Amino acid sequence: MGTCGDIAGARTTISRFRWIACAILLGGGALLYGYTLSFPFVFDDHIYLVDNPLVKDARSFAFMRDFSTFATASKNMGLDPDLSTNFILRPVSYLTFHLNYAADGMRPRGYRAVNIAIHCLNAVLLFQVLFYLLRTSPKRGNLTEFSAGFIALGSALLFLAHPLQTESVTYIVQRFTSLGAFFYLLTILTHFLAIAATHQKNRWLLKTGSVAALLLGMLSKEEVFTAPFLLVALDWLVRGTPLKIAGKRALPQLLCLPVIPLLLALTSHAQSGGSLSLVGAVNIVNPYNYPPFHYALTQLSVVLAYLRLIIFPAGLNLDWEYELSTSLLQARVLISIAIILALVGGSWLWYFRRRTDVRVSLIFVSVIWYFTTLAISSSVVPLPDLLCEHRCYLATIGAFAAMVCGVDLLRTRLAGVRGFGFVVPVILAGWIAALSVATVARNEVWRSEITMWNDVAAKSPNKSRPLINLGVAYCEHGKPEEGIACFRKALQVEPSSVRAYQNLATLLNRAGKHQEALVTSQIGLRYAQFYEELHFNMGVSYVGLGEFDSSIESFKQAVAIRPTHVRAHLCLAELHAKRRDYDAARKHNEIAAALSPANPEIQQVVQQIAAMIPSESNPRNLNLR
């Protein structure tokens, strides 16, 4: 009876600990991020959410009905072609954004609340996965319940509190990353629960749930592609299951591997006019035309840069300056290869010598986890930016688990020395507290576009994009002179930046400096002859200078390059009406009305121009709604 009572008491204690741990993680996440709910949309939030018509239209989720049309839809609408590509590869993430939109429109509070909830749940899932694996592994040996709880909760708290995660939580559109991690962890947990299930029905339900979570994850973020391999590695190396059996157990998940490559191939096929090539698929999101080999060489040092930020998160930056590596013989490349081989080889050698210790096994798998989960974004498929902090969100799990396992090994080694057994946990707690403070400070950067881009511009002084975006932010906050200064500085950094010329000319026109705006547009056109916005700005400058013939020619050039340029059509309509060329005025006014039927501001201007055309010259009733 006493033995049964002891077992029941132990189970009660473990259950209580698990509930307390989950409460700490959920409450801690709410404290760290809850105050950011009122922060605005920033940067790509506008491109991929606020100004993205695909998110707002529920019919977008039926894209498989006419895949080819949808794959080119955003390009045909004059938007970034990547919007369609992104939507096709990540429809589950976009579904959550659409549900946010359906519930509360484009108010950031709801989007942020979901992001925070996902991050907190990820910390809970990480705790549950590690606690379960450590407690049920046949390699557990003399591992105490305290060690299992210490490793699981310590890793989860580091994951929760680390400031490197802010880009995947506070940056709304990067829900892609955190949602993918959620399904990744859920896939692992349900897989191992299914293995341990005693009832056939429960086993079948859990296996089905694991496969479903995997598919949902693959359709949330591409890095979830690696989950089946990690299932096998965890089962084989941490649980000690023979490799053949571990592979057989994960066969349903392994059969899901073609999903992402198939979607990628179909999208590339549709966007390239029906041709299919490996080169096209690999470069589907490569706007800067990085050679895949050079990109891969660069990523060898990037994955170590992420590791440095995990250990010492100083200088976090939304838009990093990072040099492209172009030769295998570069010192940075060779040193990176040596360090990576040392980390993988060293952890393998340690595992080979102490494979019966579940903590050493978990350290080896955690190293594999880190490099494997980064392989999707840091290999031969070039992405627009060489280094982005949100890409290592999932990989940090491997780093934190390895670190805390190492800390617990040190703790148990020092346990016999009086007082030292508690020193290591106290140091870890202090590190978590310091990371929490750093996370709160890092979140402050996201309080507004101005604070964010000021931070980036200071840390990336040789990039024009932060200065351009800072200039736009100043303009949107009613500070045009500060905006003009930012655009001028951007052109000093990058004299060929067409966006900087465009924005500077726009502000100069608004300030009445039409001659300077005209010269700015003309210089910009030397770098991009067919950039319609610069032709449009020239037209505005000519109007301000009273040169109406030149103005009409500039607006005509803008619509010749982009026939859907609504503002250019409206300007042509107004100029022609003033010159009493009513047929031309009516033509451009009708085109503008048809291009933006749901935009009340555009329709108001259309009506004003229509009123300038005498009724006898405008016998038809236009539908101006």
Looking at the structure, tell me whether residues 434 and 487 fall in a common domain: no
Identify the sign of the CA torsion 40, 43, 47, 48: negative
Angle at 525 between CA 521 and CA 531, to 5 degrees: 100
**Where a domain ends, among 420, 445, 470?**
445
- Sorted by sequence, the CB contacts under 8 Å of residue 253 that are 6+ apart come out as 187, 191, 210, 211, 214, 227, 228, 231
Q: How far apart are CA 475 and CA 477, in angstroms?
A: 5
**Where a domain ends, among 410, 445, 480?**
445
Q: How far apart are CA 417 and CA 29, in angstroms?
A: 35
Structure tokens given for 383: 């992405």
The DSSP code sequence of 102-129 is HHHTT-HHHHHHHHHHHHHHHHHHHHHH
* Residue 244, H or E segment: helix 243-249
Angle at 490 between CA 487 and CA 495, to 5 degrees: 115
Does 484 reside within a domain? yes
Identify the sign of the CA torsion 339, 340, 342, 346: positive
Looking at the structure, tell me whether residues 469 and 332 fall in a common domain: no
Looking at the structure, tell me whether residues 183 and 235 fall in a common domain: yes
CA-closest candidate to residue 32, choices 166, 142, 231:
166
Q: Which domain holds residue 550?
A: 449-617
Q: What is the pLDDT of residue 411?
A: 86
How many angstroms separate the most distant Cα atoms in the chain? 103
Looking at the structure, tell me whether residues 458 and 430 fall in a common domain: no
Q: What is the pLDDT of residue 420?
A: 67
- The letter for the amino acid at 592 is A
What is the CB-side half-sphere exposure of residue 220 using CA atoms within 13 A? 22
Does 623 reside within a domain? no
The DSSP code sequence of 314-369 is -S--SS---PPP--TTSHHHHHHHHHHHHHHHHHHHHHHHSTTSHHHHHHHHHHHH
516 C-beta neighbours (distance < 10 Å), count: 16
Angle at 132 between CA 127 and CA 137, to 5 degrees: 135
**Where a domain ends, among 418, 445, 472?**
445
CA-closest candidate to residue 210, choices 228, 198, 225:
228
Structure tokens given for 2: 């006493």
Return the CATH number at 529: 1.25.40.10
Q: How far apart are CA 559 and CA 178, in angstroms?
A: 41
Looking at the structure, tell me whether residues 533 and 440 fall in a common domain: no
CA-closest candidate to residue 63, choices 71, 55, 74:
71
Looking at the structure, tell me whether residues 496 and 363 fall in a common domain: no
Q: What is the pLDDT of residue 619?
A: 38
Does 625 reside within a domain? no
pLDDT (tens digit per residue) in 218-265: 999 999 999 999 999 999 999 999 999 999 999 999 999 999 999 999
Looking at the structure, tell me whether residues 98 and 138 fall in a common domain: yes
Q: How far apart are CA 589 and CA 607, in angstroms?
A: 9
Does 402 reside within a domain? yes
Q: How far is CA 182 from CA 123, 224, 490, 498, 546, in A?
A: 9, 10, 39, 40, 60
Does 321 reside within a domain? yes
Looking at the structure, tell me whether residues 440 and 540 fall in a common domain: no
Looking at the structure, tell me whether residues 441 and 453 fall in a common domain: no
- Sorted by sequence, the CB contacts under 8 Å of residue 573 that are 6+ apart come out as 584, 585, 586, 587, 588, 589, 592, 609
Q: Is 494 exposed, middle or buried (0-12, 13-18, 19+ CB in 10 A)?
A: middle
Q: What is the pLDDT of residue 6?
A: 54
DSSP state of 226: G
Looking at the structure, tell me whether residues 383 and 457 fall in a common domain: no
Does 176 reside within a domain? yes
The total of structural domains in the chain comes to: 2
pLDDT (tens digit per residue) in 63-91: 988 898 898 888 877 778 889 999 999 99
CA-closest candidate to residue 224, choices 121, 373, 392:
373
Q: What is the pLDDT of residue 9?
A: 59
CA-closest candidate to residue 362, choices 177, 164, 154, 51:
154
Q: What is the pLDDT of residue 280?
A: 74
Structure tokens given for 390: 């949100």
Q: Cα 468 vs. chain centroid, distance in angstroms?
A: 21
What is the CB-side half-sphere exposure of residue 117 using CA atoms within 13 A? 7
Does 222 reside within a domain? yes
* Residue 73, H or E segment: helix 73-76
109 C-beta neighbours (distance < 10 Å), count: 12
Q: What is the pLDDT of residue 601?
A: 82
Q: What is the pLDDT of residue 418?
A: 67
Read off the pTM: 0.90
- The letter for the amino acid at 184 is Y
- Sorted by sequence, the CB contacts under 8 Å of residue 173 that are 6+ apart come out as 44, 45, 48, 49
Looking at the structure, tell me whether residues 498 and 522 fall in a common domain: yes
Q: What is the pLDDT of residue 414?
A: 77
Q: How far apart are CA 496 and CA 493, in angstroms?
A: 9
Q: How far apart are CA 418 and CA 376, in angstroms?
A: 47
Looking at the structure, tell me whether residues 416 and 469 fall in a common domain: no
CA-closest candidate to residue 282, choices 374, 383, 372:
383
Structure tokens given for 499: 């966006």
Does 624 reside within a domain? no
Q: Which residues of the chain have pLDDT under 50?
A: 1, 617-625
